[in-house]
A and B are shown apart, each in its own frame.
Chain A
Amino acid sequence: MKEFNSLEDILDFAINEEQMAADFYTALAAKMDHQEMKDTFEQYALEEIGHRAKLESIKNGKEYKVSEEKVADLKIGDYLVDVDTEKTNITYQEALTIAMKKEKAAFKLYNDLAAAASDEVSRDMFLMLAQEEAKHKLRFEVEYDNNILTEN
């Protein structure tokens, strides 16, 4: 597992993760056949940039805390088969699936890092990051629940 020497290290790592996610969506947007799906993935990329900005402000001294609030996990993405991100005609249902799985993976990563953290301060930082990802995931899950699972 990756070694972190300071909170700044952790934040730099997370900021980089958000940037990579944004780049991933930007690349997907570029190759979509249809304009509306280009727009969708560009929107997702913008959201990741937003997450990055939030972490940057923490790095620059903004306060953060791990809240007691438990973020609901609808686990919708957990049971869905993976989507082929190579193809150029991804549907919105598939786009949401990609996003749910991606946020879940990030959530798991920070949770694992928190479990392995050697000091409380970095553990809290990881937990805060995990919680952020859980919130991002819930946003996609709710959209999937409202719009795709309309009759289920």
Chain B
Amino acid sequence: MNKIVEKENFSEKVVKLVVEAPLIAKARKPGNFVIVRVGEKGERIPLTIAGADIKKGTITMIVQKMGVSSKKLCALEVGDCVTDLVGPLGKPTEIHNVGTVLCCGGGVGVAPLLPIVEGYKKAGNKVITVLAARNKDLLILEDEMRKHSDEVIIMTDDGSYGNKGLITEGMEEVIQREKINECITIGPAIMMKFCSLLTKKYEIPTMASLNSIMVDGTGMCGACRVTVDGKTKFTCVDGPEFDAHKIDFDEMMSRLGGYKSEEQDKMDHFQE
């Protein structure tokens, strides 16, 4: 069983959980994710890994309350156990020393970006990180990001912190200022789509990490199908990272809503 050893409410909607998972802590690499299930009637949901401590045998997950399952997970307290936790899943990020890397994270997408930023820095890159949030309160992991980045730019929708504006505005400023060799973007699908359009214009190789619907996470169900360069891929085993310029984001966003009305029914049932 995977015991929760630390919990922190980042905001009303976002919770940090540190969970015992010694094998995953040891095996995980930047880019990997896990599947979590809460309760005997629980659903299997994919979650990103924000970090791991091999000595303590723990992994850190940052969870946004979205549907029934994430709410149930966030309702757990220190000492409680996550019913099932399996991983690490997916292919790790391919990290090389390429020069200057632009790392762009939005919302809770900042969480899985953290190990990638660390990885790029360790590999000897200059790392410029752009973080976006709706407002100051929803911004996460700023200090950790600063520790591993050469520069951090903060963008908020309402200007309550950092610069006011969209993530792409912060990115474009950097791109116009200096040569960027590689870019990675993790966040809401719509954000990744616009990040990708921007870097395509400047011909900067860009990876996006997708958060598709999954059941097993090992290539069995095919719920996470995504079209990349006109071909069908499975996010769980072929990804979760793909060449952003080749992802069919519109289809991807449509597929994220594939169970929308059924999920709403579950939510209504949950709140009753």
B6 within 8 A of A: no
Known: A81-B231, A82-B230, A87-B231. 4 other contacts (CB 8 A): A81-B230, A84-B229, A84-B230, A84-B231
Docked complex Cα distance between A84 and B230 (Å): 8
CB of A83 within 8 Å of the partner chain: yes
Can you list 7 contacts pairing A with B, beta carbon distance less than 8 Å?
A81-B230, A81-B231, A82-B230, A83-B231, A84-B229, A84-B230, A84-B231
Interface of B is mostly: loop
The 3 closest A-B pairs by CB, nearest first: A84-B231, A84-B229, A84-B230
Q: 8 Å CB contacts to B: which residues of A65-87?
A: 81-84, 86-87
Q: Mark B196-233, 1 if CB is under 8 A from A, else 0.
A: 00000000000000000000000000000000011100
Chain B residue with the shortest CB-CB distance to A94: B231
Contacts between chains A and B (CB distance < 8 A), count: 9
B231: A residues at CB distance < 8 A? 81, 83-84, 87
Q: Distance in Å from the Cβ of A35 to the closest Cβ of chain B?
A: 20
Q: Which chain B residues border A87 with CB–CB below 8 Å?
A: 231
Q: Which residues of A contact B230 (CB under 8 A)?
A: 81-82, 84
> Nearest B residue to A87 by beta-carbon distance?
B231
Shortest Cβ distance from residue A67 to the other chain B in the assembled complex, whole angstroms: 39
CB proximity of B248 to chain A, nearest CB, Å: 13
Separation in Å of the A21 CB from the closest CB of chain B?
22
In the bound complex, how far is the Cα of B246 from the Cα of A84, in angstroms? 12
Residue of chain B at shortest CB distance from A83: B231
Q: Which residues of B contact A84 (CB under 8 A)?
A: 229-231
CB proximity of B90 to chain A, nearest CB, Å? 15
Cα A135 to Cα B229 with chains together (Å): 32
What residues of B have a CB within 8 angstroms of the CB of A83 in the complex? Answer: 231
The distance in angstroms between the C-alpha atoms of A87 and B242, with both chains bound, is 13
Complex CA–CA separation, A103 to B231 (angstroms): 21
Report the minimal beta-carbon distance from A80 to chain B, rounded to whole angstroms.
12
Interchain nearest-CB distance for A83 vs B (Å) = 7
**List of B residues within 8 angstroms of A82 by Cβ:** 230
**Nearest CB of chain B from residue A95's CB, rounded to whole Å:** 14
Instruction: Map CB proximity to A onto B222-262 as digits: 1 under 8 Å, 0 otherwise.
Output: 00000001110000000000000000000000000000000
Assembly CA distance A87 to B238 (angstroms) = 12
Q: How far is the CA of A113 from the CA of B6 in the complex (A)?
A: 74
Within the complex, what minimum Cβ distance (angstroms) separates A144 from chain B? Answer: 18
In the bound assembly, the distance between CA atoms of A87 and B233 in angstroms comes to 12
Query: Nearest Cβ in chain A — how far from B219, in angstroms?
Result: 12
Instruction: Name the residue in A83, A86, A87 with the highest tally of chain B Cβ atoms < 10 Å from its Cβ.
Output: A87
CB-CB contacts of A8-31 with B at 8 A, as 1s and 0s?
A: 000000000000000000000000
In the complex, residue of chain B having the shortest beta-carbon distance to the beta carbon of A86: B229
- Rounded to whole angstroms, the CA-CA distance of A83 and B231 in the bound complex is 7
Give the docked Cα–Cα distance between A25 and B27 (Å): 38
Which residues of chain B (91-115) have a CB below 8 Å from chain A?
A: none
Q: How far is the CA of A83 from the CA of B230 in the complex (A)?
A: 9
Shortest Cβ distance from residue A49 to the other chain B in the assembled complex, whole angstroms: 29
